[in-house]
Structure 1
Amino acid sequence: MGVKSKAAAAILVLLLFLGSLWLHGGLDYHWDSCLKGYNQLNGLNQLYNSSGAEGVEGPQVLQECPGQTFQVSLLLSNMLAAPAYSSDVLIQPYLSSWDELVRFMEALGPMVGLISKEIEAKTSIIRHLAAMTVESPEVDLAAGVNSINNVGAEVGTDPEASEHPGAYHSVRSMIVAELNQGLVDFHQQTDSGCRTLLRLHRALLWLKLFLEKLAETPVTGRLKSPSELCRESYQSTLSLHHTWLVRRAAELAFIALPERGYFFRLVCVQNQEELSAVLTRVVQATGEVYDRTQKALEENGMLDLP
Structure 2
Amino acid sequence: MKMINISLDCSVSHTDCVLCCRFMEALGPLVGFFTHKRVAPPPPHAYRSVRSMLEAELQRGVVSFDTQTPSGSRTLLRLHRSLLWLQLLLEKLGTEREGRSLGELCRDAYLEVLAPHHPWLVQRAAELVFRAMPDRSAFLQLVCVRTQEEAEPVMRIVVAAIREIHQRTQKELEIRNMLDLP
Give the equivalent residue in structure 2 for 1:293. 169
Give the equivalent residue in structure 1 for 2:2. 73
Structure 1 residues 82 and 265: alpha-carbon distance in aligned structure 2, compared to 1, 3 A threshold: closer
Worse-superposed segment, 184-193 or 234-243 = 184-193
Give the equivalent residue in structure 2 for 1:266. 142
Contact 1:76 1:285 in 2 (8 A): no
The alignment status of 1:171 with 2:50, answered yes or no, reads yes
> Secondary structure of the residue that 1:236 maps to in structure 2?
helix
Q: Within 5 A, what are the aligned runs for 1:151-166?
A: 166=45
How far apart are the structure 1 equivalents of 2:43 and 2:83?
26
The alignment status of 1:251 with 2:130, answered yes or no, reads no
Aligned length: 182
> Secondary structure of the residue that 2:154 maps to in structure 1?
helix
Q: Which of 8, 17, 34 is equivalent to 1:89?
A: 17
Q: CA-to-partner distance for each residue in 1:56-92, whole Å, 9 max, x for gaps? A: xxxxxxxxxxxxxxxx322222223323234x212x3
After TM superposition, where is structure 1 displaced by more than 3 Å over at least 4 residues in a row?
none
Please state which structure has a larger fraction of its residues in helix. Answer: 2
Q: Return the letter of the residue paired with 1:256.
A: A
How far apart are the structure 1 equivalents of 2:54 and 2:142?
36
How far apart are the structure 2 equivalents of 1:231 and 1:200?
18
Give the TM-score normalised by the residue count of structure 1. Answer: 0.56
Give the equivalent residue in structure 1 for 2:84. 205
The alignment status of 1:105 with 2:30, answered yes or no, reads yes
Q: Identical aligned pairs, as a percentage?
A: 45
How far apart are the structure 1 equivalents of 2:116 and 2:48?
30
Q: CA-to-partner distance for each residue in 1:205-233, whole Å, 9 max, x for gaps? A: 11111111111145xxx531111101101
| C-alpha deviation, 1:119, in angstroms | 1.6
Give the equivalent residue in structure 1 for 2:94. 215
Q: CA RMSD in A?
A: 1.9
Q: Return the letter of the residue paired with 1:250.
A: A
Q: Which runs of 5+ in 2 are unaligned?
A: none
Contact 1:175 1:194 in 2 (8 A): yes
| C-alpha deviation, 1:267, in angstroms | 2.4
The alignment status of 1:275 with 2:151, answered yes or no, reads yes
Q: Which runs of 5+ in 1 are unaligned?
A: 1-71, 107-112, 134-165
